[in-house]
Structure 1
Amino acid sequence: MDTKRGWLKQSFGKRLNSIHSWNAWIVLLLTVTGIVLSIGAVRGELGSLRVTLKQLHIYLGVASIVLIALYAPMIRKHWHQIRARRNQRANLVFVLALLVGWAASGVILWQFRHLPPALNNTALFVHDLLTWVGVPYALYHAISRSRWLKRQQRLDQAAAKAAPPPAAKPTPAAAEDATEKRSAAQAVIAALKESPITRASFLRLVAGVLLVIAVGPAFYRWIKGAFDTGGSTTAEYIASDGNKMLPPPAPLPDSAAVVGGGAKGNFRIYTVTEIPAFSSDSWKFAISGLVDQPNTWNWEEFLKMKRTVQVSDFHCVTGWSVYKCTWEGIPLKQLLAAAGVQSKAKFVKFYSGDKVYTDALSLDQANGDDIMVAVMMDGKPIPQKLGGPVRLIVPQMYAYKSVKWLQAIELIEKEHMGYWEVRGYDNDAWVDASKA
């Protein structure tokens, strides 16, 4: 209560400055944590720290919303104070739009399990777009409002005040006489003094240009990918595929026709290790553990197994989705039935070919009709970057259950906690929260 009274007793200007300072620090911390969380290459190194960073990012977002709420009663008076300053008004509108947009999209991503995937996808796009725009703007704002640049501005203003007042307009005869007497050097100096560009404005311009040069190419690549509705990015992954799997799988008719119409959306490449590459000369697939018929297949043997085609969506726990993927592969329950699951088996454990990542499903979950050991997507072999040559597909769960580079299945009696589950993720990863 005393803190609240102390806040209310402060002058309007002090409260405004406090909110501005706190907001600057929170935006800085949100930027740092957000960038670290978005870097797929360091996911493995971060481990459980990534979950902690995610929670910190959420708490900082909530704190930002609190600051917006504290500022809300002050908007009218602040707007009135800067009524004659168009630049400040434009800055205020822009910053408020950024903060409210970040907050709204962030809340949706925070509560993703209770909201439709399509809404999460839109929120992620908005959140990313505002970050691409807002972070460079915040940097520019910090530079343009820095003490050093303000000092340059004060020096410019002092120099302008120190300049001699303009002389009275001379008569035509006097002007003619003055022109004759003015030397070429004096004319140059006079022209320089009349230059419209001050040091401070020039430095702001340089800072803006440098930020555009630094951020522009990466932003272009992001916006190009964000508006690609699917197909071209996957084609790039196929073209640069590092796997050497021969012969390639021959697609079934429905797979070749891409009955789902082609994947809608873009996959984001996440991995906890370096992306492995595989060759059919050495690749093996195995099923073992609590089964009556353990087995091992090489690539050619694996391709001879009966496959089916299904169309399903793919949802990542970070908020993005890819819709209507046409998958071709072996239903998991078909593999389990052929192996002969023993009565003691309660869980199915999956091993990635990266030799690090594992995950598991209960036996009941693993017998779902749409769970597939996939070898093709949209009529093409699954590329290396998307988890090929073989990956697990669990459509009704978030994608950390859909193990990439799948090479082994083991039936076990005791529950196994997967790579991300031991680092804080939910073991039951249902997309539909009602199943959790």
Structure 2
Amino acid sequence: MHSKRGWLKQSLGKRLNAIHSINAWILLLLTITGIVLSIGAIRGDLGGFRVTLKQLHIYLGVVSILLIVLYAPMLRKHWHQIRDKRSRRANLVFVLALLFGWSASGVILWQFRYLPPAWNNTALLIHDLLTWVGVPYALYHAISRSRWLKRQQRLDQAAAAARPPAQQAAATPAASVPAAAQPEPAAATDAAAARSAAQAVIAALKASPITRASFLRLAAGLLLVIAVGPAFYRWVKGAFDTGGNTAAEIAALDGNRMLPPPAPLPDSAAVIGGGAQGNFRIYTVTEIPAFASDTWQFAVSGLVDHPSVWSWEQFLNLKRTVQVSDFHCVTGWSVYKCTWEGIPLKELLAAAGVQPSAKYVKFYSGDKVYTDALSLDQAEMDDVMVAVLLDGKPIPQKLGGPVRLIVPKMYAYKSVKWLQGIELIDKEHIGYWEARGYRNDAWVWVEQEPV
């Protein structure tokens, strides 16, 4: 209570400075943790620490929201205090918009399990967009208002004040001289007067170079644009391009050599879904493996009556079906209406002859690191598929091809990439991300979970 009274007794300026300082440090930490979390290539290296880092990012976000709540009672007085400073008012509006946008989208991403996937997808887009805009702006704001730059500005002002009176008079435009002190306009034929006026303008221009502080602000802004601009352009193109080029670009760099390629069924070739209009983010916990058809194999083993091993050509001869389903990542993004073609998992299990003692289905990735599992009931859902084509084309290497698991009702960490092995087991298996803090039952939306 005493500390609360002490806070309220402080002047508005001191309270604003305290909030501004704390918020700056929080924003810095949020930026660092957010960037680390967004780098898909290091997800595997971070391991379980990634979950801890994500929680830290959330806690920092909550603190940022509390700072907004703390500032709210001071907003009216602060706004009145800067009523004659348009640039500071514009800065305040922009910063508050950033903070409210970050906070609202962050809360949605935090509570993703209780909200529809479309909300999460929109929130992630907004969160990323505000980060691309807000972080460079915050850096520029910090540089332009730094103590060192303010010192340069004071030096510029002191130098201007120390100029000889004659130079100061020359630096004053003729238009600023009071009308009563100006001589009557010279006649058009008065060449001497015209020459004198022209010389005064040139002298004023010579005496008004750009200040060091202004130059440093301009240089800082240009450097930020050069550093961030190209990456921001690529992000905007990837986020808003709905022409279906993203999957094609991924496939163009494919490292797999699987021959012959699978021939799509008519429904798959026609792409009856809209997956080609979406954009996938590339995540992996290992180096992305490459496969060749002459060495690739697929096995079903464990507690089954008929263990089996297929080569690539044998695997392509298995009966396939086509389904359209959404693809949801636990980080908040989705790709809607993907057309998948493959073998329903329940048909593979039925052909293998599941023994009564089997309770779980374990999946092995061809990267020889990643594993996951489903209960037998979950594995026998109608839309769980061992997929070989996406939108009528072979699944690209970076998207988990040549074969991957698809579990549409669960987040994609259950949909094991580079799938090569299925094992029926009698005890629960904790998968790669579940061992690092993720939920074992990864239902996309809590309201959709089976009762």
| 1:275 lines up with 2:293 in the alignment | no
Residues 230, 368 of structure 1: alpha-carbon distance in 2 compared, 3 angstrom cutoff: farther
- Show the 5 A alignment for 1:60-71: 60-71=60-71
Q: Alignment partner of 1:166: what SS?
A: helix
What CA distance in whole angstroms lies between the structure 2 residues aligned with 1:107 and 1:399? 21
> 1:230 Cα deviation (Å)?
5.3
Pairing partner for 2:169 from 159, 166, 171: 166
Q: Alignment partner of 1:287: what SS?
A: strand
What CA distance in whole angstroms lies between the structure 2 residues aligned with 1:311 and 1:355? 29
Give the match for residue 12 of structure 2. 12
Check conservation: 2:384, 2:406, Cα contact below 8 A. Answer: yes
1:131 alignment partner AA: T
Identity of aligned residues (%): 79
Q: In the comparison of the two structures, how many residue pairs are matched?
A: 430
| 1:380 lines up with 2:383 in the alignment | no
> 1:194 Cα deviation (Å)?
2.1
> 1:380 Cα deviation (Å)?
0.4
- Show the 5 A alignment for 1:24-173: 24-163=24-163, 164=165, 165-166=168-169
Pairing partner for 2:346 from 296, 314, 333: 333
Check conservation: 1:230, 1:266, Cα contact below 8 A. Answer: no
Check conservation: 1:230, 1:262, Cα contact below 8 A. Answer: no
> 1:432 Cα deviation (Å)?
2.4
Give the match for residue 192 of structure 1. 206
> 1:257 Cα deviation (Å)?
1.1
For the aligned residue pairs, the C-alpha RMSD in angstroms reads 2.1
What CA distance in whole angstroms lies between the structure 1 residues aligned with 2:269 and 2:44? 35
What CA distance in whole angstroms lies between the structure 2 residues aligned with 1:2 and 1:318? 42
Give the match for residue 221 of structure 2. 208
Q: What do the CA deviations read for 1:88-135 (whole angstroms, capped 9, x no partner)?
A: 111000000000000000000001110010111000000000000000
> 1:7 Cα deviation (Å)?
1.1
> 1:2 Cα deviation (Å)?
2.0
> 1:161 Cα deviation (Å)?
1.6
1:22 alignment partner AA: I
2:400 alignment partner AA: G
> 1:29 Cα deviation (Å)?
0.5
Q: TM-score, normalised by structure 2?
A: 0.92
Residues 211, 410 of structure 1: alpha-carbon distance in 2 compared, 3 angstrom cutoff: same
| 1:290 lines up with 2:303 in the alignment | yes
What CA distance in whole angstroms lies between the structure 1 residues aligned with 2:227 and 2:39? 18
Instruction: Indicate the larger mover: 235-244 or 38-47.
Output: 235-244
2:207 alignment partner AA: K
Check conservation: 1:348, 1:361, Cα contact below 8 A. Answer: yes
Q: What do the CA deviations read for 1:56-78 (whole angstroms, capped 9, x no partner)?
A: 11111110000001111111111
Q: Alignment partner of 2:348: what SS?
A: helix
Q: What do the CA deviations read for 1:176-208 (whole angstroms, capped 9, x no partner)?
A: 69x99xxx9x9998743222x211011100100
1:162 alignment partner AA: A
What CA distance in whole angstroms lies between the structure 1 residues aligned with 2:106 and 2:127? 7
| 1:355 lines up with 2:358 in the alignment | no
Check conservation: 2:247, 2:276, Cα contact below 8 A. Answer: no
Q: What do the CA deviations read for 1:330-383 (whole angstroms, capped 9, x no partner)?
A: 000011011111111110000001111000000110011000000001000000
Q: TM-score, normalised by structure 1?
A: 0.95
Check conservation: 2:272, 2:339, Cα contact below 8 A. Answer: yes
Check conservation: 2:117, 2:445, Cα contact below 8 A. Answer: no
Unpaired segments ≥5 residues, structure 2: 171-176
Check conservation: 1:263, 1:323, Cα contact below 8 A. Answer: no
Unpaired segments ≥5 residues, structure 1: none
2:138 alignment partner AA: A
Moved over 3 A (4+): 167-172, 186-192, 261-264
Q: What do the CA deviations read for 1:288-320 (whole angstroms, capped 9, x no partner)?
A: 111111111110000000000000000000000
1:356 alignment partner AA: V
Q: Alignment partner of 1:310: what SS?
A: strand
Instruction: Indicate the larger mover: 243-252 or 233-242.
Output: 233-242
| 1:415 lines up with 2:411 in the alignment | no
Pairing partner for 2:378 from 355, 361, 365: 365
| 1:430 lines up with 2:443 in the alignment | yes
1:204 alignment partner AA: R
Pairing partner for 1:395 from 404, 408, 411: 408
> 1:260 Cα deviation (Å)?
1.6
1:38 alignment partner AA: S
1:62 alignment partner AA: V
Pairing partner for 2:319 from 302, 306, 318: 306
Residues 316, 187 of structure 1: alpha-carbon distance in 2 compared, 3 angstrom cutoff: closer
What CA distance in whole angstroms lies between the structure 1 residues aligned with 2:328 and 2:283? 13
What CA distance in whole angstroms lies between the structure 2 residues aligned with 1:69 and 1:122? 25
Give the match for residue 173 of structure 2. none
Check conservation: 1:65, 1:103, Cα contact below 8 A. Answer: yes
| 1:234 lines up with 2:281 in the alignment | no
Residues 21, 79 of structure 1: alpha-carbon distance in 2 compared, 3 angstrom cutoff: same
2:169 alignment partner AA: P
What CA distance in whole angstroms lies between the structure 2 residues aligned with 1:114 and 1:101? 20
> 1:274 Cα deviation (Å)?
0.9
